[in-house]
Amino acid sequence: MQHGYIRASDKEKVQNRLRRIEGQVRGLQRMVDEEVYCVAVLTQISSAIAALEKVGTILLKDHVEHCVRESIEKGEGADEKIEELTAAVERFLRV
């Protein structure tokens, strides 16, 4: 079973989102350098966090729809994949 698999359509979405996030973070650095009002910086940090959470959601959905489903359908390592998914969701949700 292939690890690190992301569907081509999702891979492009994720890469585009990560590029935007990278730009947001560079913008945050400029804001700090330029001593922009802290509430404005915090607002932009919140936007970057939300964007990262969306990327995580896309990746989790892709993992469930492909890796976990494939393991269950093939009867190969389904319990392991479910445990792996549970751990990933807990990390993602910071439980």
Query: What does the pLDDT read at residue 34?
Result: 98
Task: Please name each of the domains of the chain with its CATH number.
Answer: 8-93 (1.20.58.1000)
How far is it, in rounded angstroms, from Cα 65 to Cα 53? 18
pLDDT tens digits along 4-62: 678 888 899 999 999 999 999 999 999 999 999 999 999 999 999 999 999 999 999 99
* Nearest to 14, CA basis, from 66, 57, 64, 67: 57
pTM of the entire predicted model: 0.82
Nearest-angstrom CA–CA distance, 59 and 78: 19
Look-up of token digits 């590029």? 19
pLDDT in tens, 60-83: 999 899 888 888 898 888 889 899
Q: How far is residue 32 from each of residues 18, 23, 40, 44, measured CA to CA in Å? A: 21, 14, 10, 11
CA distances from 19 to 10, 12, 24, 25, 27 (A): 14, 11, 9, 10, 12
Q: Give pLDDT, residue 95.
A: 60
